A and B are shown apart, each in its own frame.
Chain A
Amino acid sequence: MKIMVAIKRVIDYAVKIRVKPDKSGVETSNVKMSMNPFCEIALEEALRIKESGRASEVVAVSVGPSQCVDTLRTGLAMGADRAIHVEFPGTLYPLSIAKIFKALVDAEKPGLLLLGKQAIDDDCNQTGQMVAGLLKWPQGTFASKVVLDEENKVVTVDREVDGGLETLCLDLPAVITTDLRLNQPRYATLPNIMKAKSKVIKKLTPQDLKVEIKSDLEVIQVTEPPKRKAGVILSSVDELIDRLKNEARVI
C-alpha cells in the first residue's frame, strides 16, 4: 500500500508573526519558513506505518511556490521515498488545495491520505475534510492514535473530542488528519539528508492536473490582536473592590 502525505510550508512555529503595514496579510519575506508541525506528525505516522511493514511507499506532496521544494527536501530527509511539488506562486485556499490533492490521489492511487489537522498559519482546518468529501472517502480527523489493519482493509482511529476519545473504524482507502499527541516526529539525520539528495521531486502545475485555481474568498484585512493594556498596582483591597465594581463592573 502507498501512503500519500500532504506537507505545507508555513512561517516557522517559533517566529513572531508580523502583519504587513498595508494589512493585506502577514510578512513572509526574510522570515524563517518550516514544515507545518501537524504535517510533520502526519509524515512521521506514515513513516512508522511503513517501517512496521504495512506500507510500501510514502509520497510527500506539497502545493505552493518554488521554495516548497526545501520543505519537501526536509520530508525526504525524514524518510519519505519521493515527493511531488505542485507549483503555484499565488494565494491558495483550502478548496483549491483539496481539488489538487484529489487529482493527485486519482493519479497516484494511495491507500491512505494523511494530512495535518490544520496549518498553523491560517488555522483553516478544512483541507482534510474537503478532500475526503471530494474523494468520497471516509475520514478520521484529529487522530491521536492510528492502527492499520491491512488484511481487513480497515484503519482504527482514536479522535480527541470534547470530554474524551472517540474511536472510529474506517474502510480503506481513507483520509486521516493528525493531532498533536499522535507521535513525536523524528529529526533529519545526516545519512538521511545525504540519501534525500538523490530522491526525486516531481514537478507539476495545477494545469497539469486540470485543476482551475479560483477563489470564492477574498481577504479584506489582516490585523494584529489589540495590545494588552498595562496593569495597575492598587494600594488596598477596598480600592480593588471599588474598581471591580465601578470600573470593570464585574462584581
Chain B
Amino acid sequence: MEDTTTNKQISSPTTTVAALRLFFHDYFVDGYDTSILVSSTRFSKSERGYPGFSNRKGSGIGIPDSLPRVQGHGYRIHCRNIASMTSKPVRNQSFAMINCDDISYFKKILGERGVVLEEEKLDDANTDWMRKFKGSSKLMLQPRSTQEVSQILDYCNSRRLAVVPQGGNTGLVGGSVPVFDEVIINVSSMNNTISFDKDSGILVCEAGCILENLISFLDNEGYIMPLDLGAKGSCQIGGNVSTNAGACALFDTRTFLSGISGLEVVLANGTVLDMLGTLRKDNTGYDLKHLFIGSEGSLGIVTKVSILTPPKLSSVNLAFLACEDYTSCQKLLSEAKRKLGEILSAFEFLDINAMDLVLKHLDGLRNPLPSAKHNFYILIETTGSMESHDKEKLESFLLQSMENGLLNDGVLAQDVNQASSFWRIREGIPEALMKAGAVYKYDLSLPPEKMYNLVEEMRERLGTAANVVAYGHLGDGNLHLNISTRQYNDSILSKIEPFVYEWTSEQRGSISAEHGLGLMKANKIHYSKSAETVQLMAAIKKLLDPNGILNPYKVLPTSILSQSGVDEP
C-alpha cells in the first residue's frame, strides 16, 4: 500500500487522497468520520500543498486551510478519528454550478447592488469569524425584501442551486458559511423595523436587523430584548432565530424561543409562509414556527420575526463573587433561586482558568477581587422594579451566603459602569480564547451537579498539553467547555473527541446547548437524539426541501439524508 501511495503521490499528487479513500472505502461510509491528508514532498506538491486544497474538486475529504501545516518532510498519511474539524462531506454533484445566465437573472431581479461577485467581499462571506470554516462560493446575493428572497429561492430550487442563508456570520459551528460553492443569500440589507406596539410590547422586524440595534431601539421605548449575546454588535435577528441562539442574561426565558411570537419564512420553493401572528395565545393547528426556530436555515429562510418583549425594569444589580469549589457554586445557585426568587435574572460561572485567560489577553480589564485567587467566579444579576428593595434583598442574600461559607469573597457593582466591567469579563472569554491560540469549543447541556466533572476529567486526560477552560450558564445547566492550545493538534483532538460527546451522551446531556449543529456537529446529532427522532427530522427536511438546496451538509448527517432519498442525484 505504501508503494502504491508513493507512486500515486509522484505521478498524480492531487488525487492521492481520492485513491486512499478507495482503499479505505468502508471506513468512510458510516460510523467512521475520517479524513486523509497527504503532505507535499520536496519533489512534488500534493493536494495538501495547494492553496485552497480543501475546496478542490475530487479532493474528497479535506480539512480547512487554517489548520497548521503537517510537520516533517516527505509524505505522510494523516488519519483522524472523529475529528469535527475535518468532517467535511463530499460535494453533492446533483447541485448545479453557477453560470452566466444565473448571474444575469439575479441581476435582473436584485439589481447590480444585490449581486456580489467581488472576490474580497466573497472571501469574508465564505469564512466564519473564527476562521475555522471556509467555503468557495462565487456568488453572494443581498435581497432587500421577502419577495426577492422568494424569487431567489424559486429560481435556485428549479435550477438545483444550493444556497446558504447568512446573517451576521457569527455562528460557531460553521452553519453560516458555504461548504463548497453554495450561493450565499445574505439578508443584511433587510434591516427594517416594521412595527412596535407600545402596549403589548410586540416588535416586528426584518431578519437582517442587528441585535444591538434592536436592543437600543427597545431601550428607548422602555422595553428589553429577551436576548443578549456577546456577538450582539454583529449578529442578526434572523440568524438568532434560525439558530435559537442562547444568551447570558436569560434566567427565566431559558432560550430565545419563548420570546418569538411569529415568523415569516420563505420555503425552498419560494413559497412565503406568513406566520407573523402577533397574538400571545394562538392554539390553532400545528405551531409551525417552531420548526424554523433552531433549524439553522435548513428548512426555510427566516425573513421577518415578531418578538414579544418584556418591559424594561429599572433596577438591575450585579455581583461578582468568588467560590472555593464547584459544590459551593451549585449550592449558591439553589439558594439564590429560593431567596432571590423572581428577581434573579442571571447566574453565570467561570473557573479560574477562564479568569486568568481573560485578564491575560484582554486590555483594560481588571480583576474585581485582586486580593486572592479563587477557583470559581460567579456573576449573579437581579432585575426588578424597586431599586432599594432589590438591592437590599441581594445584599442580605450575599452577606448570609458569606457567613454560611458558600462565598469566599465578592463585590457588588455600585454603578452601571462597574456592572459592565464585570460583564465584560464573562463576555470577553470567547475573545480571550481566540487570542490565546487554537481552541476546541464545546457547548454542552449537562445536569448541573455533574457538569464540572467533565472539566476535571478532561484536565486529567490532557495534562499540561492544553488549557481546559470552563464557563457557562449554571442556571441553565449549560457548560461552555473550551480547550485552548497553541495550535490545532491531532493528538489533542483525539483525546477530546469522541470522549466529550460520549460523556455527554452518557449523562443524557445535549452536545449543543446553544450553538446549533451546523457543519461541525451535523454528524454528531446521534449523541443527543434517538434514531427515530433523527429519521423524522430527515423526513421533514425532505418534505420542505425535496431538492435539499437549503444549507446542505449541515444540521443532519448527510448519510441520513441520502438514505431518505434527498441526496440522490
Contacts and interface: CB of A to CB of B under 8 A. Distances in A.
Interface in B269-327: 314-316, 319-321
Given A30-B314, A31-B314, A15 B416 contact: yes
Contacts of B402: 190-191, 194
Interface string A1-40: 0000000000011111000000000000011101101000
A222 B76 CA distance: 75
B48 to A, nearest CB: 45
Contact of A37 (B319, B368, B387, B417): B417
A235 interface: no
Contact of A35 (B219, B314, B315, B415): B415
A40 B412 CA distance: 15
A34 B318 CA distance: 14
B398 interface: yes
A138 to B, nearest CB: 32
Contacts of B420: 14
A190 B417 contact: no
Interface of B is mostly: mixed
Interface in A27-74: 30-32, 34-35, 37, 70, 74
Contacts of A32: 314-316, 387, 415-416
Given A12-B416, A34-B416, A70-B388, A188 B409 contact: no
B411 A188 contact: yes
Interface string B414-441: 1111101000000000000000000000
Q: Tell me which of A77, A188, A190 has the highest count of chain B C-beta atoms within 10 A of its own C-beta.
A: A190
Contacts of A154: none
B399 interface: yes
Given A30-B314, A189-B409, A14 B415 contact: yes
B410 interface: yes
A184 interface: yes
A41 to B, nearest CB: 12
Contact of A74 (B316, B388, B407, B414): B414
B417 A189 contact: no
B409 A191 contact: yes
Contacts of B409: 189-191
B486 interface: no
A15 B319 CA distance: 19
A169 interface: no
Contacts of A35: 414-415
Contacts of A16: 219-220
Given A31-B314, A70-B388, A190 B415 contact: no
B414 A34 contact: yes
Q: Tell me which of A30, A34, A184, A187 has the highest count of chain B C-beta atoms within 10 A of its own C-beta.
A: A187
Contacts, number: 66
B314 A193 contact: no
Interface string B363-375: 0001011000000
A190 B399 contact: yes
B411 A190 contact: yes
B531 to A, nearest CB: 51
Contacts of A187: 320, 368, 411-414, 418
Q: Tell me which of B220, B315, B399, B420 has the highest count of chain A C-beta atoms within 10 A of its own C-beta.
A: B399
B497 interface: no
A34 B315 CA distance: 12
A234 B316 CA distance: 44
B411 A189 contact: yes
Interface string A184-200: 10011111011000000
Nearest to A71: B414
Contacts of A193: 395, 399, 412
A185 B414 CA distance: 11
B382 to A, nearest CB: 14
B412 A188 contact: yes
A193 B413 CA distance: 11
Interface string A70-94: 1000100110000000000000000
Contact of A190 (B219, B314, B398, B416): B398
A187 B422 CA distance: 11
Contacts of B415: 12-14, 32, 34-35, 37
A116 to B, nearest CB: 14
B417 A194 contact: no
Contacts of B416: 12-15, 32, 34
Contacts of B411: 187-190
A78 B411 CA distance: 10
Nearest to A192: B411
Contacts of A188: 411-412, 414
Interface in B361-393: 366, 368-369, 387-388
Q: Tell me which of A16, A35, A193 has the highest count of chain B C-beta atoms within 10 A of its own C-beta.
A: A193
Contacts of B399: 190, 193-194
A32 B418 CA distance: 13
A184 B366 contact: yes
Contacts of A190: 319, 321, 398-399, 402, 407, 409-412
Interface string B71-110: 0000000000000000000000000000000000000000
Interface string A162-188: 000000000000000000000010011
Interface in A107-144: none
Interface in B156-191: none
B417 A14 contact: yes
A191 to B, nearest CB: 7
Contacts of A12: 415-417
A227 B404 CA distance: 54
Q: Tell me which of A14, A37, A78 has the highest count of chain B C-beta atoms within 10 A of its own C-beta.
A: A14
A46 B399 CA distance: 27
Interface of B: 219-220, 314-316, 319-321, 366, 368-369, 387-388, 395, 398-399, 402, 407, 409-418, 420
Given A32-B316, A74-B414, A190-B399, 6 more contacts: A14-B417, A34-B414, A187-B411, A190-B319, A190-B402, A190-B411
Interface of A: 12-16, 30-32, 34-35, 37, 70, 74, 77-78, 184, 187-191, 193-194
13 contacts: A13-B417, A15-B416, A16-B220, A34-B416, A34-B417, A37-B415, A184-B366, A187-B413, A188-B411, A188-B412, A190-B321, A190-B398, A194-B402
List 6 A-B pairs, minimum CB-CB distance, nearest first.
Answer: A34-B415, A14-B416, A187-B411, A190-B410, A74-B414, A12-B416
